[in-house]
Structure 1
Amino acid sequence: MMKTLLVEDKAYIRKGLLNLLQLVESDVQVIGECESVKDAVIVANACLPDLIFLDINLTDGNAFDFLEQTQHLNFKVIFITAYEEFALKALKIGAVDYLLKPVDIKDLEVALHKVSKLPLTEQKQQINAVKSAWDNENAKLILSLHDSFQVIDLSELMFCESDKGYTSFYCSDGKKHVVSKTLKEFEAQLTLANFTRPHQSYMVNLKFIDKYDKSGVIHLKNGKKIPVSSRKKEQFVSSLLKRKSN
Protein backbone atom coordinates (compact mmCIF):
# COMPACT_ATOMS: atom_id res chain seq x y z
CA MET A 1 0.00 0.00 0.00
CA MET A 2 1.15 3.53 -0.83
CA LYS A 3 0.87 5.73 2.25
CA THR A 4 -0.69 8.89 0.84
CA LEU A 5 -0.98 12.46 2.13
CA LEU A 6 -3.50 15.00 0.79
CA VAL A 7 -2.13 18.57 0.88
CA GLU A 8 -4.85 20.96 -0.27
CA ASP A 9 -6.12 24.17 1.33
CA LYS A 10 -9.81 23.68 0.50
CA ALA A 11 -11.68 21.12 2.58
CA TYR A 12 -14.26 20.32 -0.11
CA ILE A 13 -11.50 19.49 -2.62
CA ARG A 14 -9.85 17.17 -0.08
CA LYS A 15 -13.18 15.49 0.62
CA GLY A 16 -13.92 15.05 -3.07
CA LEU A 17 -10.48 13.60 -3.75
CA LEU A 18 -10.80 11.24 -0.80
CA ASN A 19 -14.15 10.01 -2.13
CA LEU A 20 -12.69 9.43 -5.60
CA LEU A 21 -9.72 7.53 -4.18
CA GLN A 22 -12.17 5.17 -2.47
CA LEU A 23 -13.83 4.48 -5.84
CA VAL A 24 -10.75 3.74 -7.92
CA GLU A 25 -8.86 0.48 -7.84
CA SER A 26 -5.49 1.35 -6.33
CA ASP A 27 -3.22 0.50 -3.43
CA VAL A 28 -3.53 4.01 -1.95
CA GLN A 29 -3.96 4.40 1.81
CA VAL A 30 -4.69 7.99 2.88
CA ILE A 31 -2.83 8.66 6.13
CA GLY A 32 -3.53 12.37 6.53
CA GLU A 33 -4.87 15.68 5.25
CA CYS A 34 -3.23 19.14 5.47
CA GLU A 35 -4.12 22.63 4.28
CA SER A 36 -0.85 24.50 4.84
CA VAL A 37 2.85 24.18 4.14
CA LYS A 38 3.63 24.26 7.86
CA ASP A 39 1.29 21.39 8.75
CA ALA A 40 2.24 19.36 5.68
CA VAL A 41 5.95 19.51 6.55
CA ILE A 42 5.22 18.30 10.09
CA VAL A 43 2.98 15.43 8.95
CA ALA A 44 5.31 14.37 6.12
CA ASN A 45 8.29 14.16 8.48
CA ALA A 46 6.27 12.21 11.03
CA CYS A 47 4.44 9.80 8.70
CA LEU A 48 6.90 9.39 5.78
CA PRO A 49 4.32 9.12 2.97
CA ASP A 50 5.01 7.32 -0.30
CA LEU A 51 2.76 9.65 -2.32
CA ILE A 52 1.51 13.21 -1.88
CA PHE A 53 -1.34 14.92 -3.71
CA LEU A 54 0.04 18.46 -3.57
CA ASP A 55 -1.90 21.65 -4.25
CA ILE A 56 0.15 24.34 -5.99
CA ASN A 57 -1.18 27.25 -3.92
CA LEU A 58 -1.59 26.78 -0.15
CA THR A 59 -2.66 29.04 2.70
CA ASP A 60 0.88 29.98 3.79
CA GLY A 61 2.96 29.40 0.67
CA ASN A 62 3.12 27.12 -2.35
CA ALA A 63 4.02 23.57 -3.31
CA PHE A 64 7.67 24.42 -3.91
CA ASP A 65 8.04 25.86 -0.41
CA PHE A 66 6.89 22.49 0.90
CA LEU A 67 9.17 20.52 -1.44
CA GLU A 68 12.22 22.56 -0.42
CA GLN A 69 11.58 21.80 3.24
CA THR A 70 11.08 18.07 2.65
CA GLN A 71 13.74 17.38 0.01
CA HIS A 72 15.40 14.90 2.39
CA LEU A 73 12.30 12.68 2.24
CA ASN A 74 11.45 10.15 -0.47
CA PHE A 75 7.93 10.43 -1.85
CA LYS A 76 6.23 10.82 -5.21
CA VAL A 77 4.00 13.78 -6.09
CA ILE A 78 0.83 14.36 -8.05
CA PHE A 79 0.21 18.10 -8.30
CA ILE A 80 -3.27 19.62 -8.01
CA THR A 81 -4.06 23.02 -9.50
CA ALA A 82 -6.92 25.30 -10.42
CA TYR A 83 -4.64 27.84 -12.08
CA GLU A 84 -4.22 26.68 -15.65
CA GLU A 85 -2.63 29.92 -16.83
CA PHE A 86 0.20 29.86 -14.28
CA ALA A 87 0.65 26.16 -13.68
CA LEU A 88 0.28 24.16 -16.85
CA LYS A 89 3.30 25.51 -18.73
CA ALA A 90 5.65 24.59 -15.91
CA LEU A 91 3.99 21.26 -15.19
CA LYS A 92 4.06 20.26 -18.86
CA ILE A 93 7.70 21.23 -19.23
CA GLY A 94 8.53 18.97 -16.30
CA ALA A 95 6.20 16.25 -17.60
CA VAL A 96 4.97 15.59 -14.06
CA ASP A 97 1.56 14.21 -13.24
CA TYR A 98 -1.05 16.79 -12.32
CA LEU A 99 -4.79 17.04 -11.79
CA LEU A 100 -6.97 20.04 -12.57
CA LYS A 101 -9.71 21.04 -10.16
CA PRO A 102 -12.38 19.75 -10.02
CA VAL A 103 -10.66 16.37 -10.16
CA ASP A 104 -12.00 13.90 -12.71
CA ILE A 105 -11.96 10.22 -11.74
CA LYS A 106 -10.53 9.09 -15.10
CA ASP A 107 -7.70 11.62 -14.84
CA LEU A 108 -7.07 10.40 -11.30
CA GLU A 109 -6.78 6.79 -12.45
CA VAL A 110 -4.33 7.74 -15.21
CA ALA A 111 -2.18 9.81 -12.84
CA LEU A 112 -2.06 7.04 -10.25
CA HIS A 113 -1.06 4.48 -12.85
CA LYS A 114 1.72 6.69 -14.25
CA VAL A 115 3.17 7.68 -10.89
CA SER A 116 3.17 4.10 -9.63
CA LYS A 117 5.40 3.06 -12.56
CA LEU A 118 7.72 6.06 -12.43
CA PRO A 119 11.10 5.67 -10.65
CA LEU A 120 11.48 8.10 -7.75
CA THR A 121 14.78 9.50 -9.06
CA GLU A 122 13.19 10.27 -12.42
CA GLN A 123 10.31 12.14 -10.85
CA LYS A 124 12.66 14.23 -8.74
CA GLN A 125 14.39 15.29 -11.95
CA GLN A 126 11.02 16.20 -13.44
CA ILE A 127 10.10 18.28 -10.40
CA ASN A 128 13.40 20.17 -10.60
CA ALA A 129 12.52 21.02 -14.22
CA VAL A 130 9.09 22.23 -13.08
CA LYS A 131 10.64 24.43 -10.40
CA SER A 132 13.00 26.04 -12.90
CA ALA A 133 10.21 26.64 -15.42
CA TRP A 134 7.93 27.92 -12.69
CA ASP A 135 10.47 30.48 -11.48
CA ASN A 136 10.96 31.76 -15.03
CA GLU A 137 7.22 31.89 -15.75
CA ASN A 138 6.34 33.79 -12.60
CA ALA A 139 9.23 36.28 -12.55
CA LYS A 140 7.29 38.79 -14.67
CA LEU A 141 3.82 40.26 -14.69
CA ILE A 142 2.37 41.67 -17.92
CA LEU A 143 -0.22 44.40 -17.50
CA SER A 144 -2.58 45.40 -20.29
CA LEU A 145 -2.76 49.20 -20.13
CA HIS A 146 -4.84 51.54 -22.27
CA ASP A 147 -2.31 51.85 -25.09
CA SER A 148 0.43 49.34 -24.27
CA PHE A 149 1.50 46.20 -22.42
CA GLN A 150 3.64 46.91 -19.37
CA VAL A 151 6.13 44.26 -18.21
CA ILE A 152 6.83 44.35 -14.47
CA ASP A 153 9.62 42.50 -12.69
CA LEU A 154 7.81 41.03 -9.69
CA SER A 155 10.94 41.27 -7.57
CA GLU A 156 10.64 45.07 -7.92
CA LEU A 157 6.89 45.32 -7.34
CA MET A 158 6.32 46.58 -3.80
CA PHE A 159 2.56 46.36 -3.40
CA CYS A 160 -0.79 46.49 -5.19
CA GLU A 161 -3.87 48.42 -4.16
CA SER A 162 -7.39 47.72 -5.36
CA ASP A 163 -10.18 50.31 -5.52
CA LYS A 164 -13.58 50.07 -7.22
CA GLY A 165 -12.60 47.58 -9.91
CA TYR A 166 -9.18 49.11 -10.58
CA THR A 167 -5.79 47.88 -9.34
CA SER A 168 -2.71 50.08 -8.91
CA PHE A 169 0.78 48.56 -9.01
CA TYR A 170 3.51 50.41 -7.10
CA CYS A 171 7.13 49.64 -8.05
CA SER A 172 10.34 50.28 -6.14
CA ASP A 173 11.49 52.81 -8.76
CA GLY A 174 8.51 55.01 -7.91
CA LYS A 175 6.45 54.14 -10.98
CA LYS A 176 2.73 53.42 -10.68
CA HIS A 177 0.61 51.49 -13.18
CA VAL A 178 -3.18 51.25 -13.09
CA VAL A 179 -5.32 48.59 -14.78
CA SER A 180 -9.08 48.16 -14.95
CA LYS A 181 -9.06 44.74 -13.30
CA THR A 182 -9.68 43.59 -9.76
CA LEU A 183 -6.90 42.46 -7.48
CA LYS A 184 -8.46 39.01 -7.36
CA GLU A 185 -7.46 38.44 -10.99
CA PHE A 186 -3.77 38.76 -10.06
CA GLU A 187 -3.86 37.07 -6.66
CA ALA A 188 -2.86 33.56 -7.75
CA GLN A 189 0.31 34.60 -9.58
CA LEU A 190 1.30 37.17 -6.94
CA THR A 191 0.86 34.68 -4.11
CA LEU A 192 3.22 32.31 -5.85
CA ALA A 193 5.73 35.16 -6.24
CA ASN A 194 6.10 35.77 -2.49
CA PHE A 195 3.23 38.26 -2.08
CA THR A 196 0.70 38.14 0.72
CA ARG A 197 -2.81 39.59 0.94
CA PRO A 198 -3.14 41.16 4.42
CA HIS A 199 -6.25 43.12 3.50
CA GLN A 200 -9.01 42.92 0.89
CA SER A 201 -7.59 46.00 -0.85
CA TYR A 202 -3.88 45.16 -0.80
CA MET A 203 -1.25 42.62 -1.80
CA VAL A 204 2.27 43.17 -0.49
CA ASN A 205 5.67 41.85 -1.54
CA LEU A 206 7.15 40.33 1.63
CA LYS A 207 10.69 41.42 0.68
CA PHE A 208 9.73 45.11 1.01
CA ILE A 209 8.30 44.89 4.53
CA ASP A 210 10.36 46.84 7.08
CA LYS A 211 8.32 46.02 10.17
CA TYR A 212 4.89 45.01 11.37
CA ASP A 213 3.09 46.62 14.30
CA LYS A 214 1.11 44.02 16.19
CA SER A 215 -1.71 46.55 16.30
CA GLY A 216 -2.25 45.64 12.66
CA VAL A 217 -0.11 47.92 10.48
CA ILE A 218 2.60 46.98 7.95
CA HIS A 219 5.44 49.47 7.40
CA LEU A 220 7.11 49.18 4.01
CA LYS A 221 10.71 50.22 3.38
CA ASN A 222 9.53 53.33 1.51
CA GLY A 223 7.45 54.49 4.49
CA LYS A 224 4.08 53.36 3.14
CA LYS A 225 1.73 51.98 5.80
CA ILE A 226 -0.69 49.18 4.93
CA PRO A 227 -3.44 47.84 7.21
CA VAL A 228 -3.86 44.17 8.11
CA SER A 229 -7.47 43.09 8.59
CA SER A 230 -8.27 41.29 11.85
CA ARG A 231 -9.30 38.07 10.11
CA LYS A 232 -6.03 37.91 8.14
CA LYS A 233 -3.58 38.70 10.97
CA GLU A 234 -2.72 35.11 11.84
CA GLN A 235 -2.13 34.12 8.21
CA PHE A 236 -0.06 37.25 7.56
CA VAL A 237 2.19 36.73 10.60
CA SER A 238 2.71 33.10 9.56
CA SER A 239 3.81 34.22 6.08
CA LEU A 240 6.11 36.89 7.53
CA LEU A 241 7.81 34.54 9.99
CA LYS A 242 8.20 31.90 7.32
CA ARG A 243 10.09 34.32 5.06
CA LYS A 244 12.30 35.40 7.96
CA SER A 245 13.29 31.79 8.63
CA ASN A 246 14.21 31.11 4.98
Structure 2
Amino acid sequence: MITAIILDTDTTKECIANLISNYFESQIKLYEVATTVLCGVELIKTNNPDIVFLNADLEEESNCFLNDYFKDTLDFEIVIMANSKRHAFNAIKRNAFDYLIKPINKIDILSIVKKYERKLSEKQIGTTHHFPVYPKILPKIPLATSNGIKYIEEFIFLYAKADGAYCEVYTIDCKKITLSKTLKEFEALASRNNFYRSHKSYLINLAHVCELVENDGIIILKNNQKIPLSKSRKEVFLSRMANNSIQI
Protein backbone atom coordinates (compact mmCIF):
# COMPACT_ATOMS: atom_id res chain seq x y z
CA MET A 1 0.00 0.00 0.00
CA ILE A 2 1.20 3.52 -0.83
CA THR A 3 1.55 5.83 2.17
CA ALA A 4 0.99 9.56 1.80
CA ILE A 5 0.97 12.96 3.49
CA ILE A 6 -0.81 16.08 2.27
CA LEU A 7 0.92 19.43 2.73
CA ASP A 8 -1.56 22.18 1.88
CA THR A 9 -3.52 25.12 3.31
CA ASP A 10 -6.58 25.44 1.07
CA THR A 11 -9.59 23.22 0.31
CA THR A 12 -7.53 20.99 -1.96
CA LYS A 13 -6.37 19.03 1.09
CA GLU A 14 -9.98 18.07 1.90
CA CYS A 15 -10.60 17.22 -1.76
CA ILE A 16 -7.64 14.83 -1.95
CA ALA A 17 -8.44 13.29 1.43
CA ASN A 18 -12.00 12.63 0.27
CA LEU A 19 -10.86 11.17 -3.06
CA ILE A 20 -8.49 8.81 -1.27
CA SER A 21 -11.18 7.81 1.23
CA ASN A 22 -13.86 7.27 -1.44
CA TYR A 23 -11.87 5.64 -4.24
CA PHE A 24 -8.39 4.60 -3.13
CA GLU A 25 -8.74 3.35 0.42
CA SER A 26 -7.24 -0.02 -0.52
CA GLN A 27 -4.30 1.57 -2.37
CA ILE A 28 -3.34 4.66 -0.37
CA LYS A 29 -2.95 5.08 3.36
CA LEU A 30 -3.17 8.76 4.27
CA TYR A 31 -1.16 9.52 7.41
CA GLU A 32 -1.53 13.22 8.09
CA VAL A 33 -2.39 16.63 6.68
CA ALA A 34 0.04 19.49 7.36
CA THR A 35 -0.49 23.21 6.74
CA THR A 36 3.11 24.48 6.88
CA VAL A 37 6.35 23.27 5.31
CA LEU A 38 8.02 22.96 8.72
CA CYS A 39 5.13 20.90 10.08
CA GLY A 40 5.32 18.76 6.96
CA VAL A 41 9.01 18.14 7.49
CA GLU A 42 8.34 16.78 10.97
CA LEU A 43 5.49 14.58 9.74
CA ILE A 44 7.68 13.18 6.97
CA LYS A 45 10.46 12.36 9.44
CA THR A 46 7.96 10.65 11.74
CA ASN A 47 5.92 8.70 9.18
CA ASN A 48 8.37 8.16 6.29
CA PRO A 49 5.67 8.34 3.56
CA ASP A 50 6.01 7.18 -0.02
CA ILE A 51 4.37 10.30 -1.50
CA VAL A 52 3.90 13.88 -0.32
CA PHE A 53 1.17 15.91 -2.02
CA LEU A 54 2.54 19.46 -1.83
CA ASN A 55 0.89 22.78 -2.63
CA ALA A 56 3.30 24.71 -4.87
CA ASP A 57 2.05 28.06 -3.53
CA LEU A 58 2.85 27.05 0.05
CA GLU A 59 6.53 26.59 -0.74
CA GLU A 60 6.80 29.82 -2.70
CA GLU A 61 5.01 31.88 -0.04
CA SER A 62 7.15 30.54 2.80
CA ASN A 63 10.43 30.38 0.82
CA CYS A 64 10.91 26.96 2.44
CA PHE A 65 11.50 24.27 -0.16
CA LEU A 66 10.89 20.72 0.93
CA ASN A 67 13.81 19.33 -1.07
CA ASP A 68 16.22 21.53 0.90
CA TYR A 69 15.37 19.82 4.18
CA PHE A 70 16.20 16.35 2.91
CA LYS A 71 18.64 16.90 0.04
CA ASP A 72 20.56 13.64 -0.45
CA THR A 73 18.32 11.75 2.02
CA LEU A 74 15.07 12.40 0.13
CA ASP A 75 13.48 8.94 -0.16
CA PHE A 76 9.88 9.91 -0.93
CA GLU A 77 8.17 11.31 -4.03
CA ILE A 78 6.83 14.86 -4.22
CA VAL A 79 3.63 15.48 -6.18
CA ILE A 80 3.13 19.18 -6.75
CA MET A 81 -0.41 20.59 -6.69
CA ALA A 82 -0.46 23.76 -8.77
CA ASN A 83 -2.94 26.41 -9.84
CA SER A 84 -1.33 26.90 -13.23
CA LYS A 85 0.92 25.17 -15.71
CA ARG A 86 3.65 27.72 -14.91
CA HIS A 87 3.80 26.51 -11.32
CA ALA A 88 3.66 22.94 -12.56
CA PHE A 89 6.61 23.37 -14.88
CA ASN A 90 8.66 25.02 -12.13
CA ALA A 91 7.88 21.99 -9.97
CA ILE A 92 9.06 19.57 -12.62
CA LYS A 93 12.31 21.50 -12.90
CA ARG A 94 12.80 20.90 -9.16
CA ASN A 95 12.62 17.14 -9.85
CA ALA A 96 9.10 16.60 -8.57
CA PHE A 97 7.71 13.11 -9.21
CA ASP A 98 4.64 14.56 -10.93
CA TYR A 99 2.25 17.48 -10.85
CA LEU A 100 -1.52 17.99 -10.63
CA ILE A 101 -3.40 21.07 -11.84
CA LYS A 102 -6.26 22.16 -9.58
CA PRO A 103 -9.10 21.30 -9.38
CA ILE A 104 -7.96 17.72 -8.80
CA ASN A 105 -10.16 14.71 -9.56
CA LYS A 106 -10.02 10.94 -9.11
CA ILE A 107 -8.39 10.40 -12.51
CA ASP A 108 -5.51 12.63 -11.40
CA ILE A 109 -5.00 10.56 -8.25
CA LEU A 110 -5.23 7.35 -10.24
CA SER A 111 -2.49 8.56 -12.59
CA ILE A 112 -0.21 9.10 -9.59
CA VAL A 113 -1.00 5.63 -8.22
CA LYS A 114 -0.30 3.98 -11.58
CA LYS A 115 2.93 5.90 -12.09
CA TYR A 116 4.18 5.02 -8.60
CA GLU A 117 3.28 1.36 -9.07
CA ARG A 118 5.21 1.32 -12.36
CA LYS A 119 8.21 2.79 -10.62
CA LEU A 120 8.09 0.11 -7.92
CA SER A 121 7.75 -2.59 -10.56
CA GLU A 122 10.72 -1.28 -12.52
CA LYS A 123 12.76 -1.01 -9.35
CA GLN A 124 11.90 -4.60 -8.43
CA ILE A 125 12.92 -5.86 -11.87
CA GLY A 126 16.20 -4.00 -11.60
CA THR A 127 16.86 -5.48 -8.16
CA THR A 128 15.91 -9.01 -9.19
CA HIS A 129 18.11 -9.06 -12.28
CA HIS A 130 20.91 -6.96 -10.83
CA PHE A 131 20.78 -4.44 -13.65
CA PRO A 132 23.38 -1.68 -13.40
CA VAL A 133 22.03 1.61 -12.10
CA TYR A 134 22.45 4.51 -14.47
CA PRO A 135 21.51 8.16 -13.96
CA LYS A 136 17.84 8.68 -14.80
CA ILE A 137 17.28 10.23 -18.22
CA LEU A 138 13.73 11.33 -18.97
CA PRO A 139 12.32 10.23 -22.35
CA LYS A 140 12.92 12.88 -24.99
CA ILE A 141 11.23 13.52 -28.31
CA PRO A 142 13.37 14.77 -31.22
CA LEU A 143 11.64 17.63 -33.07
CA ALA A 144 12.95 18.57 -36.50
CA THR A 145 12.81 22.36 -36.96
CA SER A 146 14.17 24.68 -39.64
CA ASN A 147 17.23 25.31 -37.44
CA GLY A 148 18.02 21.70 -36.54
CA ILE A 149 16.63 19.38 -33.87
CA LYS A 150 15.05 20.28 -30.55
CA TYR A 151 14.78 17.64 -27.83
CA ILE A 152 11.90 17.98 -25.38
CA GLU A 153 10.86 15.74 -22.51
CA GLU A 154 7.85 13.58 -23.27
CA PHE A 155 5.94 14.81 -20.22
CA ILE A 156 5.94 18.49 -21.29
CA PHE A 157 4.36 17.75 -24.70
CA LEU A 158 0.68 18.80 -24.68
CA TYR A 159 -0.47 18.53 -28.28
CA ALA A 160 0.51 19.03 -31.89
CA LYS A 161 -1.56 20.81 -34.53
CA ALA A 162 -1.35 20.41 -38.31
CA ASP A 163 -0.33 23.47 -40.31
CA GLY A 164 -0.13 22.46 -43.96
CA ALA A 165 3.27 20.91 -44.70
CA TYR A 166 4.33 21.74 -41.13
CA CYS A 167 2.94 21.16 -37.67
CA GLU A 168 3.03 23.10 -34.43
CA VAL A 169 3.93 21.51 -31.09
CA TYR A 170 2.65 23.08 -27.87
CA THR A 171 4.18 22.37 -24.45
CA ILE A 172 3.11 22.82 -20.82
CA ASP A 173 5.58 25.69 -20.39
CA CYS A 174 3.64 27.76 -22.95
CA LYS A 175 6.03 27.27 -25.86
CA LYS A 176 5.17 26.68 -29.52
CA ILE A 177 7.63 24.83 -31.75
CA THR A 178 7.10 24.75 -35.50
CA LEU A 179 8.27 21.50 -37.09
CA SER A 180 9.44 20.95 -40.63
CA LYS A 181 7.32 17.80 -40.75
CA THR A 182 3.66 17.11 -41.34
CA LEU A 183 1.49 15.95 -38.45
CA LYS A 184 1.37 12.48 -39.99
CA GLU A 185 5.17 12.28 -40.02
CA PHE A 186 5.32 13.49 -36.43
CA GLU A 187 2.68 10.96 -35.41
CA ALA A 188 4.85 8.15 -36.78
CA LEU A 189 7.80 9.52 -34.83
CA ALA A 190 5.75 9.71 -31.64
CA SER A 191 3.99 6.35 -32.03
CA ARG A 192 5.88 4.77 -29.14
CA ASN A 193 4.65 7.47 -26.74
CA ASN A 194 1.33 7.83 -24.97
CA PHE A 195 -0.05 10.06 -27.74
CA TYR A 196 -3.24 9.82 -29.78
CA ARG A 197 -4.46 11.33 -33.06
CA SER A 198 -7.82 12.65 -31.85
CA HIS A 199 -8.59 14.50 -35.07
CA LYS A 200 -7.06 14.80 -38.53
CA SER A 201 -5.44 18.05 -37.38
CA TYR A 202 -4.52 17.20 -33.78
CA LEU A 203 -2.28 14.81 -31.86
CA ILE A 204 -2.56 14.89 -28.05
CA ASN A 205 -0.66 13.58 -25.04
CA LEU A 206 -3.16 11.34 -23.24
CA ALA A 207 -1.39 11.98 -19.93
CA HIS A 208 -2.71 15.55 -20.00
CA VAL A 209 -6.35 14.74 -20.78
CA CYS A 210 -8.66 16.17 -18.14
CA GLU A 211 -12.17 15.85 -19.55
CA LEU A 212 -14.26 14.69 -22.51
CA VAL A 213 -17.34 16.74 -23.44
CA GLU A 214 -19.12 14.02 -25.39
CA ASN A 215 -22.00 16.07 -26.81
CA ASP A 216 -19.59 18.56 -28.34
CA GLY A 217 -16.87 16.06 -29.25
CA ILE A 218 -14.30 18.08 -27.32
CA ILE A 219 -11.31 16.91 -25.26
CA ILE A 220 -10.13 19.29 -22.55
CA LEU A 221 -6.48 19.17 -21.54
CA LYS A 222 -5.04 20.12 -18.15
CA ASN A 223 -4.31 23.65 -19.34
CA ASN A 224 -7.99 24.02 -20.40
CA GLN A 225 -7.08 23.79 -24.09
CA LYS A 226 -10.01 22.37 -26.08
CA ILE A 227 -9.15 19.76 -28.72
CA PRO A 228 -11.67 18.29 -31.21
CA LEU A 229 -12.36 14.55 -31.17
CA SER A 230 -13.54 13.00 -34.42
CA LYS A 231 -16.53 10.67 -34.18
CA SER A 232 -14.58 7.95 -35.99
CA ARG A 233 -11.77 8.17 -33.41
CA LYS A 234 -13.93 8.34 -30.29
CA GLU A 235 -14.14 4.59 -29.63
CA VAL A 236 -10.37 4.09 -29.71
CA PHE A 237 -9.86 7.20 -27.57
CA LEU A 238 -12.24 5.88 -24.90
CA SER A 239 -10.52 2.50 -25.01
CA ARG A 240 -7.09 4.08 -24.55
CA MET A 241 -8.32 6.21 -21.65
CA ALA A 242 -10.10 3.24 -20.03
CA ASN A 243 -6.75 1.54 -19.53
CA ASN A 244 -5.86 4.31 -17.08
CA SER A 245 -9.27 4.80 -15.48
CA ILE A 246 -11.23 3.35 -12.60
CA GLN A 247 -14.78 2.03 -12.58
CA ILE A 248 -17.31 3.79 -10.37
- TM-score range with shorter-chain normalisation? 0.3 to 0.5
User: TM-score scaled by structure 2?
Assistant: 0.42
State the TM-score, normalizing by the size of structure 1. Answer: 0.43
